[in-house]
Amino acid sequence: MARPLSRRTLFQAAALTATATAVSAAATGRAAATGRAAAPGAPAAASGVPAAWTVRPFQASDVTLGPGVFADKQRLMLDHARGYDVHRLLQVFRANAGLSTGGAVAPGGWEGLDGEANGNLRGHYTGHFLTMLAQAYFGTGEQLFADRIDTVVGALTEVREALRRGPRVLSVEGRFGRAAENVRGSHQYADLPSAVLGAAPALTLSTWVRPAHDAAWARIFDFGDDTTRYLYLAARNADGVPRFAVTTSGPGGEQGLDGTAPLPLGEWSHLAVTLADGTGTLYVNGTSVARSTGITLTPAALGPLAHHWLGRSHFPADPVFAGAFEDVNVFSRALTAAEIGALQSRRAADTPAGRGDLASYAFDETSGGTFADGSGRGLDATLRRTWGAPSHPGFLAAYPETQFIELESMTRSDYTRVWAPYYTAHKILRGLLDAHLATGDERALDLASGMCDWMYARLSALPAATLQRMWGLFSSGEFGGIAEAVCDLHAVTGRAEHLALARLFDLDRLIDACAANTDVLDGLHANQHIPIFTGLVRLHDETGEERYLTAAKNFWRMVVPHRMYAIGGTSSGEFWKARGVIAGTIGDTTAETCCAYNMLKLSRTLFFHEQDPAYMDYYERALYNQVLGSKRDAPDAEKPLVTYFIGLTPGHVRDYTPKQGTTCCEGTGMESATKYQDSVYFAKADGSALYVNLYSASRLTWAEKGVTVTQTTRYPQEQGSTLTVGGGPASFTLLLRVPSWATGGFRVTVNGRAVPGDPAPGSYFAVSRTWRAGDTVRISVPFRLRVERALDDPGLQALFLGPVNLVARAPGPDAVRFGLYGRAALSGDLLPALTPVPDKPLHYTLDGIELAPFSEGTEDPTHAYFRRREPRVVFGGSDSGVANPSRDDGTTLLDEIWAGAPFAGKGALVARVRSTVDAWVSAGLLGRADGDRVVRTAREATYVS
């Protein structure tokens, strides 16, 4: 039996079972990484999950996968979770906080400053990875995963503290001693007092620098008021070489000096500029590389200036200097060439020139946030961030808070400026919450709670109209499933402001439309909106507001089947098109993988409220096809190898390393592959019944009942499954899902005896008894080959054998064309048209083309849809010689005949042929003589049953 649960662990259980990452370890309250505890059994904790749920999931650690395709794919992802260097994920967080990145290289793609939209989504992938690690720990108990969680959470704790306290010196080895480094992405610079230049008639700027990036226009010095009056020294201009310029009339009036070669990255270089008597000279490593007698402007000519910066530009679009500084000196005279030459081997203090008399910074500091001035003028510099300090101590991100601030004033989408900051916050929050629930690490909970406190402080201060405008912006205003995550956190903390925060993400016009069952999805970004509805279901759980649940149910039915491709995916180019348009939206960028992930999550959550078998029919479709097929069948420590889009155009080849990696879909793909077991079994809230939703090799430990259920199957290679009960005795009803496609029969035996009843496709079949150890339930669910027609083009079809979408492996760009009726069985099964491939289960050939399961993660060109081609009327392999006529809507004579299947016998089929032919003859669609030949051929043909 489950151990008694405290209030804290009940809150945890609520959040755990509310998500795909239900976990046994959370209920123990143990410290991080101290070992794995026994599971308490989720359904037992009835008061620890939402009262609205009539069905409860099991914790992930209660269900383990057996041998089969799911275990094989999961094993590949677990190896990735073990092997990937998590310090690479942390690089962007540490950089943002001005901490040492330890030489780690950001993952690239969307995680890094050089990715799409300047890396404005960076940090999201770390959240996905944390969730994957948590799920991996839930499912395996392997200490390595807990240790990796501990590393990430510990680092993020340090990052938040660094963001709170402000910039601190990052001391590194320099040219002569110590130096100060500004990590790329830290947005840090040194702010010098305003008296630095004074009214000097002459000037020398001297510094050692070690650039870390080749960005143009990053400033070393920038002294000025704005973008009109200034002087600067840039490490690289647009041509990649150093540039000095001074002006009192903006860029057009610059008097400048340009170098002749780029400064090498990662190496120390000495730069110096001298100005005196109208002459300016630029030196690189002691050599004069540019000289001009037209530099008439001096500090005295500029007059008093407002800002004196090291590493920051007055032009907002320019990057902050990334790299290290050492021995910065400002002189009120022009040093000689010999004096500058002496600076190549010694610090200024040890040369005849001495330290700068206007300002001098050795950068020997190893702590604190200031740099001491050695000029004797007391002009100590202060280390600052361009974006200042967080608005709330709970702030945690891998980029500045400016992303969130700018969103509040945006009136149109521009993801190059602001790219879904609350979406990124959601991923980090979700990962932290899952980490806490997996390991009991209170630091993770504190970080998650702090993030919500910070978001509440920001968002609660905004007018409602501002929030509605923000959330309605494409991409920039995307917030993912943050309402769900905040509700799950509220279940742990019980804090009212956290629930209030979740409601601040209401997008009222969408909720109201869907609650009224008004379809407004045409033109909306699909994955921006799907997770909103999972959040609405959780808000219903927390508030009791029916509008939320009604909107979510109606929304689901607007997608399924009206915007669903055969594999279970949705979206075209990330967007939805008009209701019912399937063939008309197919392209290379259909079926974004994130959409399938979130539709599964929504289907699962809705099932907890309403046990409509359609939710689990959809779940099986998308899981066994798109989700499985989105993971490549190959090991890789560096990449998860998951698709972004799955193109459904003829001959499409799946791309398992999209957009240079680290996309949202690779993130959700990591999560999917570590929670394949999460919906195999559910229990009624009162413990009276066990739902078997999926036929998947697995073992359930139902602690509340004191039983185990072991499911042994090779499904879908095997057309059925065997359940064996361990433990007991225990009384409950076994509810076995009868798939909607199971028109060929569904039979159940218990201990070899047939269970009476007539299981209807698209239902659950109940078997009630007191179960004892050794009881065996055998489920037989014969597969039939069938086609599914595109809603807007019946001639475009997908081929299914049971739950499996069979794809044609052939090059494009033209669709393959198949005929299937010629050997159809009396049952309506089209399988006799196919030839099995020996020793390759679920592989067939048709007209010389191989057919294989969509779930196989290969790089073969595939056709998920084909063109139906039935040019003549053929029965049982006998050709009538009559062309197959069609109606205006594309329905053919054979379509209408076989729509009557299954047939009890040959006579029933012939009767259907005769009545259909008579109707078509009467309608003028078929000649009488041809009709008679059709009937005669049907009567004389031989059929399989």
Measured in degrees and rounded to the nearest 5, phi and psi for residue 206 equal -135, 135
Query: Exposure pattern of 574-591 as b/e (b: 16+ CB <10 Å)?
Result: bbbbeeebbbebbeebbb
Question: What is the sign, positive or negative, of the torsion defined by CA atoms of 110, 114, 119, 122?
Answer: positive
Average pLDDT of the chain to the nearest whole number: 94
Q: pTM here?
A: 0.93
Compute, in degrees rounded to 10, the torsion defined by CA atoms 104, 187, 420, 449. 80
Q: What is the pLDDT of residue 418?
A: 97
How many CB atoms sit inside 10 A of residue 245's CB? 21
Measured in degrees and rounded to the nearest 5, phi and psi for residue 914 equal -60, -50
Altogether, the residues listed in the chain come to a count of 945
Helix H or strand E segment including 910? helix 906-922
Average pLDDT value for residue range 132-149: 97
Checking if the pLDDT of 865 tops 70, the result is yes
**What pLDDT, in 10s, does the model give residues 297-328?**
999 999 999 999 999 999 999 999 999 999 99
Choose among 634, 625, 599, 594: nearest CA to 614.
599
**What pLDDT, in 10s, does the model give residues 506-544?**
999 999 999 999 999 999 999 999 999 999 999 999 999
Checking if the pLDDT of 483 tops 90, the result is yes
Average pLDDT value for residue range 207-212: 98
Q: What is the pLDDT of residue 48?
A: 61
Q: What is the pLDDT of residue 118?
A: 86
Q: What is the pLDDT of residue 1?
A: 30
Measure the CA angle with vertex 194, ends 188 and 198; round to 5°.
135
| Token pair listed for 893 | 């004579």
Checking if the pLDDT of 178 tops 70, the result is yes
Q: What is the pLDDT of residue 659?
A: 87
Residue boundaries of the structural domains of the chain: 171-385, 681-715+720-780, 870-945
Q: What percent of the chain has pLDDT over 90?
A: 93
How many CB atoms sit inside 10 A of residue 555's CB? 26
**What pLDDT, in 10s, does the model give residues 713-769?**
999 999 999 999 999 899 999 999 999 999 999 999 999 999 999 999 999 999 999
**Cα–Cα distance for residue pair 83/176, rounded to 1 Å:** 39
Report in angstroms the alpha-carbon separations of 443 from 36, 152, 158, 555, 885.
Answer: 18, 11, 11, 37, 70
Pairing relationship of beta strands 878-883 and 849-853 according to DSSP bridges: unpaired
Checking if the pLDDT of 60 tops 70, the result is yes
Report in angstroms the alpha-carbon separations of 187 from 225, 386, 945.
Answer: 20, 6, 73
Checking if the pLDDT of 913 tops 80, the result is yes
Q: What is the pLDDT of residue 115?
A: 85
Report in angstroms the alpha-carbon separations of 869 from 828, 848, 873.
Answer: 17, 15, 11
Q: What is the pLDDT of residue 411?
A: 95
**Cα–Cα distance for residue pair 854/1, rounded to 1 Å:** 42
Q: Any idea what DSSP says for residue 856?
A: S
């005949």: which residue's tokens? Answer: 897
Q: Got the DSSP string for 335-402?
A: --HHHHHHTTTS-GGGSTT-S-SSEEE-----SSSEE---SSS---EEEEETT-S-SSTT---SS-TH
How many CB atoms sit inside 10 A of residue 73's CB? 24
Cis, bond preceding 761 (omega within 30 deg of 0): no
Q: What is the pLDDT of residue 28?
A: 32
How many CB atoms sit inside 10 A of residue 730's CB? 18
Q: What is the pLDDT of residue 604?
A: 98
Answer whether 798's CB lies under 8 Å from 769's CB. Answer: no
Average pLDDT value for residue range 124-138: 98
Q: What is the pLDDT of residue 49?
A: 81
| Token pair listed for 272 | 């110096």
736 bridge partner residues? 692, 765
Checking if the pLDDT of 39 tops 60, the result is no
**What pLDDT, in 10s, does the model give residues 359-379?**
999 999 999 999 999 999 999
Q: What is the pLDDT of residue 616?
A: 98
How would residue 889 be classed by pLDDT, with cut points 50, 70 and 90? confident
**Cα–Cα distance for residue pair 201/319, rounded to 1 Å:** 30
Checking if the pLDDT of 476 tops 60, the result is yes
**Cα–Cα distance for residue pair 125/88, rounded to 1 Å:** 11
Checking if the pLDDT of 930 tops 50, the result is yes
Higher pLDDT, 909 or 6: 909
Question: Is the domain covering 171-385 a CATH 2.60.120.200 domain?
Answer: yes
How would residue 661 be classed by pLDDT, with cut points 50, 70 and 90? confident
Provide the terminal-to-terminal Cα distance of the chain, rounded to the nearest Å. 51
Average pLDDT value for residue range 771-780: 98
**Cα–Cα distance for residue pair 277/397, rounded to 1 Å:** 50
Question: What is the sign, positive or negative, of the torsion defined by CA atoms of 861, 864, 869, 874?
Answer: positive
Choose among 694, 687, 776: nearest CA to 732.
687
Question: What is the sign, positive or negative, of the torsion defined by CA atoms of 25, 26, 27, 28?
Answer: positive
Question: Is the domain covering 681-715+720-780 a CATH 2.60.40 domain?
Answer: yes
Query: Exposure pattern of 763-784 as b/e (b: 16+ CB <10 Å)?
Result: bbbebebebeeebebbbbbebb
Pairing relationship of beta strands 817-818 and 866-868 according to DSSP bridges: parallel
Compute, in degrees rounded to 10, the torsion defined by CA atoms 687, 690, 693, 699. 110
Q: What is the pLDDT of residue 86?
A: 98
Average pLDDT value for residue range 153-169: 97
Strands (E), 772-865: 776-780, 785-790, 793-801, 804-809, 817-818, 835-836, 844-846, 849-853, 862-863
